[in-house]
Amino acid sequence: MISAGMDVGSKTVKVVILKDGRIIGKGIATAGLEADEAIQTAWEAALKEAGVSREEINKVVATGSRREEISGFDDEVSEVTADARAMIIVNPEIRTIIDVGAEEGRAIKVDSGGKILDFAVNEKCAAGAGAFIEAMARAMQVSIEEFSTESLKSDKTIPINAQCAIFAESEVVSLVHDETSRPDICGAINDAIADRLASMARRVLVEPKVALIGGAALGIGLQSSLKEALELDELYIPDDPEFLGAYGASIVASES
C-alpha cells in the first residue's frame, strides 16, 4: 500500500510518501498567503523521489494548521497525534516531544505505547514559535543558519525579559545600540525562546527522553539553549525533524 501524509503549516508544506511502512519520497516547499502552489511543489518533489504517480497513492491524510484551507486529502489528523504517531516509530524511548513550527510551539507527553497523555500548545504569543526566530534573525540581519551558529559563539548570559515577541524585538534593538556583540545577542534570543518553550513543556511535566522536532529543531543554537533550559543531558533530534508531522500523517493514512 502506498500512503501519503501532508503537513500544511503556516510557513511550509511537507509531503511524505510511504510504501509498506517505508518512506520512499519527501517534498517541502515554502508557502505564502496561498498554499496551493507550495502544495503542488512539495507533492511534485515527493512523487519524483518516490517514483510514483499521484494516482498510485491509496490514501492521503493531512495535518498542520492550514489543513482546513485546502482540499485534496481523504482524512485529517491533528499535529499532536501526527507527531506522536511518528515518534513512536522513529524513537520509542521518547516520552516528551517538543515541536516548534513557524506559528506554534507544542509539547506532547506520550507513554511507551505512543499514547498521548497530555499536551500543551503556546497561546497566542509567538515568542515560542519559529516565526519569532525568523523575525529576530531579520532584526540581526543574518540568515537563520548564521543566527544559529553565531549563537554558539556566545559565552555570556544576557536576559531578554519580555514575554511578548514584539517587546523582545525592542529589547534586541536596545542590545544592538549598546554595542553588544552579535553572537551574544543571538545567544540571548535563543535562550529567551528556549525559556518560553521550557515553560510550556513543563505544563506537561517533562520526562526524558525529550525530542525536539519541527523546522526550528534544525537550529543548533536553539538545541543548545533548550537543552540547558530543561537541564537535559540529551536532546534527541531526529533526521529531517521538520518532516515528522507529515510522516505521522502518512502512518495514519497507511493504517486505514
Partner 1 sequence: MEKYKTEPLKCWDKAKELRTNLYKRLAQARDEGRMIVGGGTESMLALPSGYDMEFLGGEPYGASCTFMGKHDPSVHHGFFEAVEAARYPRDLCAYMRLGLGSFLENRFAFGGKYPKPDFNLQLHLCDTHGKWYQILSELEGVPYNAVDFIPYAWETENENEESKRLKKEYLAGVMLEVIDWMEKVTGKEYDDEKFINAVNWECESANLWARCCMLNQSIPAVMDEKMMFSLYIIAVLMRQRKEAVDFYIELLDELKDRQSRGIAACANERFRFIHDSQPPWFALEIFRYLEEYGAVSIGAHYSFGLSGGWAFDPEKDTWLPAKPPKEAGVELKTREQACEWYAEWYLAYHTILRSLRWSGRGKNKRMLDLVKNWKVDGVIIHLNRGCEGTAVGQMEVRRFLADNNIPCMTYEGNLADDREFDLPRTISKINTFMETLGLKKLTK
Contact residues for partner 1, defined by CB under 8 A: 65, 68, 77-81, 116, 118-121, 123-124, 203-205
State the nearest-atom distance from the C-beta of 135 to partner 1, in Å: 19
Q: How far apart are CA 206 and CA 194, in angstroms?
A: 14
Shortest Cβ 35–partner 1 spacing (Å):
15
Nearer to partner 1, 8 or 189 (CB): 8
**Least distance CB 63 / partner 1 (angstroms):** 10
Residue placing its CB nearer to partner 1 in the complex, 214 or 219: 214
**Contact, 77 vs 63, CB < 8 A?**
yes
Q: Which three cell numbers stand for residue 80?
A: 499532536
CA 152 to chain centre: 20
Residue closer to partner 1 by CB (options 19, 85) is 85
DSSP state for residue 241 in the 8-state scheme = G
CB of 84 to partner 1, least distance (A): 9
The least CB distance from residue 111 to partner 1, in Å, is 11
Report in angstroms how near the CB of residue 192 gets to partner 1 at its nearest.
Answer: 20
| Choice between 119 and 247, CB closer to partner 1 | 119
- C-alpha distance across the termini of the chain, in Å: 10
Between CA 24 and CA 46 the distance in angstroms is 8
Contact 24, 50 (CB under 8 A): yes
Closest CA to 91 of 118, 112, 115, 117: 112
CB atoms within 10 A of CB 176: 14
DSSP run (H or E) holding 28: strand 22-30
Which residue, 116 or 232, is less far from partner 1 as judged by CB? 116
Q: How far apart are CA 138 and CA 106, in angstroms?
A: 24
Residue with smaller CB distance to partner 1, 129 or 137:
129
For the chain, what is the radius of gyration of the CA atoms?
Answer: 18
